[in-house]
Structure 1
């Protein structure tokens, strides 16, 4: 939980360092996995730099926009550090969709390869969040759950370890989704791995939002991230049943 690392005369931000490592790890692994695809592997590898740019645009650009909208709605000041991982995830997926359409490539096998890479990058980045105090937990007196961590204003207190919880979930997703040989049959059709990741991601973010220090109710007990996660979850479930029905029709037609 060191906001800065002192290397001789150099001061390095732990937050920036971990996010850089996250992009290198996730990008390198993603490039390798996309290259192993039987259809369009070489073309997908060329797309990785553009996908990372789209992720960055979502992480910071859309997060900046949300922070300012939230400030207007609640009357509170804009956070000094604003970054939203779910915007980065959506930005990357939209970029993959556009690239697949332009190059006429199958999309779902590629997204299945990439979501586990995103989970790994997300887990690494959470170490930076822990050091900087962003995405942190609210203060609590339940000491058996708490960690002594700062918020973005540098105020240290016993807080819920939301960054650690998120990191554990993402590492578990990375470990599981990276091993297709152990996946049950219902998870094997193309696209199911991607949708499972979105379901778990939305559930994790929705639950942890209640324990974060920046939790701001907007509609009853629900904050803006809550509402966004509900929308994303609804879209994910709709896509799941759409793919399920298409797979069923394909199987029925082939049996005829």
Structure 2
């Protein structure tokens, strides 16, 4: 039988194919963005691990609850740096050890608005203290540090040292927060006549874990020694956020003791 109508050939519409391919790619990109968004959200909500500084200057991920000695050493070393004043800068090289450089001090603005100086070691160690507490603490250090400390006359120079008698094991008071008791004396010695002044320093330190970030120039030689010291201090991921008087009339080691503070000590360095 003869066909009167020609057979209609099937044609492919390139525009339609392009539309379907584009739509498929958009769906794929949307799925990829969704997966990336969920991954970023999980990373942002994840608590960063704490790092403990080891003796060989390396760090490892750890839990401070399992490393109470790290917390106790942090408080002891911070306060030792805060009150060990020799009138000279800390020795960094062998030449500095044989020929110490005089400490000219760091100028600060006290809470009262006055400009005073504090020893360089105190200024560096103060970065282990919470920022809202740091300036007030440095202000009291400036009141205590005599101007004679920054003179080059050794006959007038006054040295100060913190003698720690006992640092109590840290007590956990909240998640990522601990209390450390310190029994110590601040000893001031005038080199001219070897006269000594003893100041009791019995305090409770409240410590918390914090985040720490590497200095952006850590792999270059453009960092000063002070910057290195500060960032090494912050790398311990701990800070002191409150200091109170330590009451020695109670059994500090008794975990059930509700109060270990009393008013027998001076109100200095109290928050």
Normalised TM-score (structure 2): 0.25
TM-score normalized by structure 1? 0.26
Higher helix share: 1
Highest RCO, 1 vs 2 (Cα 8 Å, sep ≥ 6): 1
Give the structure with the higher percent strand: 2
Structure (1 or 2) with the larger CA radius of gyration = 2
